[in-house]
Amino acid sequence: MLELQNLSRHFGGVKAVDQLDLDVVQGEILGLIGPNGSGKSTTVNLITGVYQPTNGALRFKGQDIADLAPHQRTELGIARTFQNIRLFGHLTVWQNLWAARVVRERGWSGFRERWLSGAKAAREQAEELLVFGDLAHKRDHLAGNLAFGEQRRLELIRAAASGAELLLLDEPAAGMNAEEILDLDQRIRRLRDQGRTILLIEHHMELVMEVCDRVVVLNFGRKIAQGTPAQVQRDEAVRAAYLGADHHA
């Protein structure tokens, strides 16, 4: 579904992502892990068009997307959540969801008309997502006033509300307690069961090992291992990378 070929992004001397080959297969939950600064968020930023690659190719459903603007990639069916939550804090829960839905359909042009006229089916889908995210009772609350775990849930359903087939989740469990992580585990599985494909970046290894079909491991921007969760857990290079990171910390 998504193919990265020999993809690099360098910032001056820092090789944030370096010669990365990565395939995301339709219908899978692919984990992307690695120590701090190993290039995970940069990879998401390259896929979504926040950054241009220094080198390499990016294809989504067979189409070269390297020259497309971020909103065009959203229209094609790629959505993300942010490592540091980025909601419209002064808008309500519902408005955050609806904005994602409306912008999906041809970016910001004519946004106001589409906001007001949105089709019934689209509204129903957004309502379903509110329930899915356990936020129906908070629909008219300002996003900025939600508890942390609720904001993370809103980010997740907002990404889904765009109708995207590929969801890029950048540390969705960061700051969550154990119970919230279990809920997230269930939600990620259900999104996949509804036909979405998921790239999951996470530091919570229990979640990665539980929920991912496959895992790719980065270190210093390079892919150092890939395989089933059990395989990468046993991998010597992976262990060394995480131990090295512990030494730094």
- Residues of this chain that interact with Mg ion (CB under 5 A) are 40-41, 83
Choices 37-45, 146-154, 192-200, 233-241; region in contact with ligand ATP by CB under 6 A? 37-45
- Asked if 38 touches ligand ATP (CB under 6 A), the answer is yes
The distance of closest approach from Cβ of residue 177 to Mg ion in the complex, given in angstroms and rounded to an integer, is: 21
The distance of closest approach from Cβ of residue 11 to ligand ATP in the complex, given in angstroms and rounded to an integer, is: 3
Choices 9-17, 23-31, 68-76, 160-168; region in contact with ligand ATP by CB under 6 A? 9-17
Question: Which two tokens mark 215?
Answer: 């895992």
**How does DSSP assign the chain, residue by residue?**
-EEEEEEEEEETTEEEEEEEEEEE-TT-EEEEE-STTSSHHHHHHHHHTSS--SEEEEEETTEE-TTS-HHHHHHHTEEEE-SS----TTSBHHHHHHHHHHHHTTTTTTHHHHHHH--HHHHHHHHHHHHHTT-GGGTTSBGGGS-HHHHHHHHHHHHHHTT-SEEEEESTTTT--HHHHHHHHHHHHHHHHTT-EEEEE-S-HHHHHHH-SEEEEEETTEEEEEE-HHHHHH-HHHHHHHHHHHHH-
Residue whose Cβ sits closest to Mg ion: 41
Answer for which of 16, 20, 93, 103 binds ligand ATP (CB under 6 A) is 16
- Asked if 40 touches ligand ATP (CB under 6 A), the answer is yes
196 binds, among ligand ATP, Mg ion, none (CB under 5 to 8 A by kind): none
Nearer of residues 83 and 95 to ligand ATP, judged by Cβ: 83
Choices 36-44, 85-93, 155-163, 234-242; region in contact with ligand ATP by CB under 6 A? 36-44
Question: Which two tokens mark 79?
Answer: 């959505």
- φ and ψ at 196, to 5 degrees? -90, 155
Residues within window 177-216 making contact with ligand ATP, judged by CB under 6 A: none
- Asked if 39 touches ligand ATP (CB under 6 A), the answer is yes
14 binds, among Mg ion, ligand ATP, none (CB under 5 to 8 A by kind): ligand ATP
Cα 33 to Cα 229: distance, rounded to the nearest angstrom = 11
Residues within window 83-142 making contact with ligand ATP, judged by CB under 6 A: 83
Size of the site for ligand ATP (CB under 6 A): 12
Q: How many CB atoms lie within 10 A of CB 190?
A: 11
> Which residue is it, tokens 């070929």?
5
Nearer of residues 52 and 145 to ligand ATP, judged by Cβ: 52
The distance of closest approach from Cβ of residue 140 to ligand ATP in the complex, given in angstroms and rounded to an integer, is: 33
The distance of closest approach from Cβ of residue 189 to ligand ATP in the complex, given in angstroms and rounded to an integer, is: 23
Spatial contact of 131 and 138, defined as CB atoms under 8 Å apart: no
- Asked if 219 touches ligand ATP (CB under 6 A), the answer is no
Please give the residue ranges that form the binding site for ligand ATP (CB under 6 A): 11, 14, 16, 34, 36-42, 83
